[in-house]
């Protein structure tokens, strides 16, 4: 069936090859059918996806972590977060695990704040950003070993309003943190309907 008026173009993959397979990412080269005929090559970074958590307490303070990120050569202020690298683990369970591992916290109430494709021009990474409330302290899971950059990580409780200002000051530059903090501030003032935590 060909294209016609009002019919969307089908961006079919005509050929695909893996260029590089790493520990976390895979670089793939796809040849894709383009509108009007012809094709074009697209380089795609495949990523398993990630989660991030805005953990907010009864005093409207949020947890921020300062962690070294080698690709940008600097420490960044971030939310508790992690890769979806456990096979078959639902994203909410990953978020709960990361919150316990990195911030030693559990939450009695979870909501899905936002879903973000980090850089859809070349990467398929999807980050699910959660709001965690009714926080309680927990022990670090025995299976989690603090190593590499996480051994240098520091934690800070910051009033939400101050964290939002730090976004506008350019002090917080991590995309998931920016989205999560601004979405939480909006949720606190405008009370939008948030998706349940197990939504996809």
Instruction: Characterize the bridge pairing of strands 61-69 and 154-159.
Output: antiparallel
Sign of CA dihedral 169, 172, 178, 184: negative
Contact by Cβ (8 Å): 138, 194: no
User: Which strands form 105-117's sheet, in the order they lie side by side?
Assistant: 81-83, 50-55, 126-137, 105-117, 195-196
Pick from 160, 185, 195, 145: nearest CA to 57: 160
Out of 43, 101, 142, 150, the active site residue is: 150
Q: Note if 150 is an active site residue.
A: yes
Q: At what angle do helices 175-190 and 160-168 cross, to 10 degrees?
A: 130
Q: Are strands 50-55 and 126-137 parallel, antiparallel or unpaired?
A: parallel
Are the C-beta atoms of 94 and 82 separated by less than 8 Å? yes
CA nearest neighbour of 65 among 73, 57, 56, 77: 77
Catalytic residues: 150
């Amino acid at each position: 069936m060909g294209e016609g008026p009002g019919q969307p173009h089908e961006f079919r993959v005509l050929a695909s090859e893996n260029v590089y397979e790493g520990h976390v990412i895979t670089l793939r080269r796809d040849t894709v059918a383009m509108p009007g005929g012809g094709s074009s090559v697209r380089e795609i970074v495949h990523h398993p996806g990630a989660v991030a958590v805005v953990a907010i307490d009864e005093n409207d303070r949020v947890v921020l972590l300062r962690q070294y990120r080698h690709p940008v050569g600097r420490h960044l202020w971030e939310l508790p977060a992690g890769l979806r690298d456990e096979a078959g683990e639902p994203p909410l369970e990953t978020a709960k695990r990361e919150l316990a591992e990195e911030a030693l916290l559990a939450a009695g109430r979870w909501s899905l704040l936002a879903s973000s494709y980090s850089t859809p021009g070349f990467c398929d990474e999807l980050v699910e950003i959660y709001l965690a409330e009714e926080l309680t302290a927990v022990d670090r899971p025995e299976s989690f070993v603090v190593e590499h950059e996480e051994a240098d990580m520091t934690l800070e409780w910051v009033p939400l309003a101050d964290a939002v200002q730090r976004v506008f000051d350019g002090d917080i530059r991590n995309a998931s943190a920016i989205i999560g903090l601004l979405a939480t501030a909006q949720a606190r003032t405008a009370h939008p309907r948030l998706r349940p935590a197990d939504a996809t």
